Amino acid sequence: MKPFFDMKRVSVRWMAAVAAVFGILLAGWSWSVDDDLFELRRNFEIFGAVYEELVTSYVDDIRPQPFMKAGIDAMLAELDPYTVFYDEADLVDMNAFQNPASGTVGLNLGERGGQIRVLPPDRHAEAYRTGIQTGDILLEIDGVDAAGLSLPEAYTLLQGEPGSVVRVLVQRSADAPSRMFTLRRVRTQTADVAYAGWLGGDASERIAYVRLDQFGDRAGRETRRALRNLADGEPLRGVVLDLRNNPGGIVTEAVDVVELFVPDETSVVRIATRGAASDQVYRTDMDALFPEAEVIVLVNRFSASASEIVAGALQDLDAAVVMGEITFGKGLVQVVRRLPHDTALKMTIAHYTLPSGRIVPTGEGIVPDVEVAVAAESALEGALRADGAFFLFANAWVEAGCGGQDMPLTVEACLADEPGVLSAFVRFLDQQGFSYTTSMERDVDALVSQLEGSTWPEALKQASTLRDEMEQEKRRDLERHAPRLLAAVEASVVTYLLEGEALAAWEVDHDPLIAHAVETLQNSLRRSR
């Protein structure tokens, strides 16, 4: 009989060590007659007994460590997706793959039930905008089977030269079809503030812009420094704080950002833990740096956690107008607790409430004062983005000298002939053999397949005709969605030609939501004169 686990028999010495650990843990607790503690001790003893019986007496050899981890994974599967166990192997080079020197696609991964799954973003959300979702199962990375990979190995395969691409195969659920995504590796963000500058053309209108990409341990200081440098001792009339795609971070840094715009001793957020007695209220501890400035906070569906604290607190305190999409909805706080034998547990320990007393429910988020929905992405655009078609074309377009023009490689030169750029993109798709299938087409294909064995020839004919008409509509999609496709192509070309502040400045100048925020501030400031 083939062993279930092809490993050596568990030794008596190892089991003695396990028994000693259980004994120390039990002796270390001061048990009372409290029902909860009694239940905890009772179930802990049951768990230990079951584990001991299985590893010592099961018909096949069982390797203790992965067997224990399988039990831990099963427990965590009952909780939220943010609570993750890291074993000793997972923690090896943890800093290296969380802060890689090379490019990264920005996916946040965790292991559940022996599978590597996509977790909600901890850093920038670049990969998530292609269509990859929280909970997706990672099947392959550039053709390498993800089964059996450790988290460090998976992260290593995802890393590479900034600007290069990696193809990942994911599956939404066990019975769903797999789907391939082409992800671009981007340079790791080291600063929390990605860009700061003037809006409205120049400094004359005194409207400052700050894009905060994450709430690391310098977010408050960097935001303060950026605004101070722009102000240069003069008042600011308006501030646009961009928290789009910011997945959050450190709570105290969020408080430091809020205190730039509200009075000293203002309550910003209450962290509500399991025991109400240990709840903690975070307040500002200095006077506002820019109390007179009108503030707009930009958010989208990837703004989460600390971003929602900033947006929600400023909204509750009437200190800012929140503009954009409904946020992610992560009203939870995590900490990393070190465990014995070089393991760790990232665990949700609290909810938070905003100044008005409201809680940010998981999955619901902050509703903007001015809701500006991003135009729905067509099936064609989504498929092109998932396939990496935009930046693969941009790479080829730039490498070819932007259409073979005998002039310097500049943004203006490469994008001057917009019809020519779009035509070149369509030719590129034909050369690459690009194709995609919509969910509606899959439904019709299934219907055709069922009707082929039926006695309803007319119905089969109509279903086949519908399938042909859908294919024709897809061909017309290139023309129907030409403006959005051209905008996506242009944005990708620019990322190959510019970097750093120059790239950020171009993105700000071509961002419709930022333009809307500037117009809103300008109108408000004119009325207040």
300-354 pLDDT per residue, tens: 998 999 999 999 999 999 999 999 999 999 888 888 889 888 888 889 988 899 9
Q: What is the mean pLDDT of residues 265-281?
A: 87
Q: Tokens representing 92?
A: 């090896």
Q: Which amino acid is at 488?
A: A
What's the whole-number average pLDDT of the chain? 84
Name the helix (H) or strand (E) containing 299.
Answer: strand 294-299
pLDDT of residue 523: 92
Residue 472, Cβ neighbours under 10 Å: how many? 8
Better-predicted residue by pLDDT, 456 or 34: 456
CB within 8 Å of 126: residues ≥ 6 apart? 105, 106, 183, 184, 186, 245
- Model confidence at 17, pLDDT cuts 50, 70, 90, reads very low
pLDDT band at 522 (very low <50, low <70, confident <90, very high): very high
Helices (H), 87-201: 88-91, 94-98, 151-158
pLDDT tens for 252-263 read: 999 999 999 999
Closest CA to 251 of 226, 268, 263: 268
Could you tell me if 256 and 315 are in contact, meaning their C-beta atoms sit under 8 angstroms apart?
no
The pTM assigned to this predicted structure is 0.80
> What is the pLDDT, as a whole number, of residue 74?
86
**Confidence (pLDDT) at 6:** 38
pLDDT of residue 509: 94
Q: What band does 90 get if pLDDT is binned at 50, 70 and 90?
A: low
Listed in sequence order, the residues at least 6 apart from 522 whose beta carbon sits closer than 8 Å to its beta carbon are: 200, 205, 207
Top mean-pLDDT range of 123-137, 232-246, 359-373? 232-246
pLDDT at 28 over 60: no
pLDDT of residue 70: 83
Distances in whole angstroms, Cα of residue 67 to Cα of each of 62, 281, 412: 7, 41, 60
Instruction: Quote the DSSP letter at residue 103.
Output: B
What does each C-alpha distance from 3 to 6, 52, 71, 113 come to in angstroms?
A: 5, 18, 20, 20
* Six-digit token string for 337: 């607790």
- As to burial, measured by CB atoms within 10 angstroms (0-12 exposed, 13-18 middle, 19+ buried), residue 493 is buried
Do you know the residue count of the chain?
A: 529
- Residue 428: pLDDT band by 50, 70, 90 thresholds? very high
Query: What pLDDT was estimated at residue 100?
Result: 55
Task: Give the pLDDT score at 278.
Answer: 75
